[in-house]
Amino acid sequence: MARVVVLISGRGSNLRALVEAALPVVAVVSNRPDAAGLGFAAERGIATAVVDHKAYADRDSFDTALANAVDAHAPDLVVLAGFMRVLTPGFVRRYAGRLMNVHPSLLPAFPGLDTHARALAAGSKLHGCSVHFVTEALDEGPIVAQAAVPVLDDDSPETLAARVLRQEHRLLPAAVRWFLEGRMAINGARVRVRDTVAHADDTLAEPAP
Ligand code: GRF
């Protein structure tokens, strides 16, 4: 049975989407003791751990403690689902090729924070979310899948965020499933997913029937 460890910092709605898609989430690790997603995980009988970044003097010692908490669950895949800390190169290398993040923009547009407000300020007509493998450069790793949404004239950052979040909840479970099914090959910046069908007028590649 495959094993997925999910790292969170807050609400945990993407974590919930993974669990509700019946993916094998064996543990949830948060850098914040008050993350709401921890309560959800505990309710579902999933192991939880907190590695509070405020308790560590520097990023290296925090990331070492985080890696220990993750490794205790021997994951095949580690998913960053609203995990709001930048990880050290050592941590990223340790999980190379099995560390995925969901980011609320159509990368490479808008890496970093405040993506919805930035998309509005830039006048984007399309916005969305990306699932990508994590590399040492922030939000720059090979893109696994993306979903796009329209930007409407009366959108605020909040209404746009809500529209994007609905797509995150479809995209991340699909990407995790494809990984666990062994259908992904990383080739430089490009990720090939075997046996998926992307229609020209579709926003999200779907598994072949
Ligand atoms: C999501 O939009 C995620 O892409 C971003 O932070 C948000 C986390 O939401 N990095 P949740 O904790 O999964 O509800």
Whether 209 shows a pLDDT value over 70: the answer reads: no
Atom nearest to 80 CA in ligand 1: 10
Q: How does pLDDT run across 57-115, given as a tens digit for each residue? A: 999 999 999 999 999 999 999 999 999 999 999 999 999 999 999 999 999 999 999 99
Distance CA 31, CA 6 (A): 12
Model confidence, pTM: 0.94
Closest ligand 1 atom to the C-alpha of 15?
A: 13
C-alpha separations of 161 from 19, 36, 108, 150, 151 in Å: 21, 19, 18, 11, 10
Most ligand 1 atoms within 8 A of CB, residue of 11, 25, 149 to mutate: 11
Of 21-30, 178-187, 192-201, the range with the lowest mean pLDDT is 192-201
Task: Using the predicted structure, report yes or no on whether residue 191 has a pLDDT greater than 70.
Answer: yes
Q: What is the rounded CA–CA span in Å between residue 48 and residue 44?
A: 11
Look up 73 and say whether it is catalytic: no
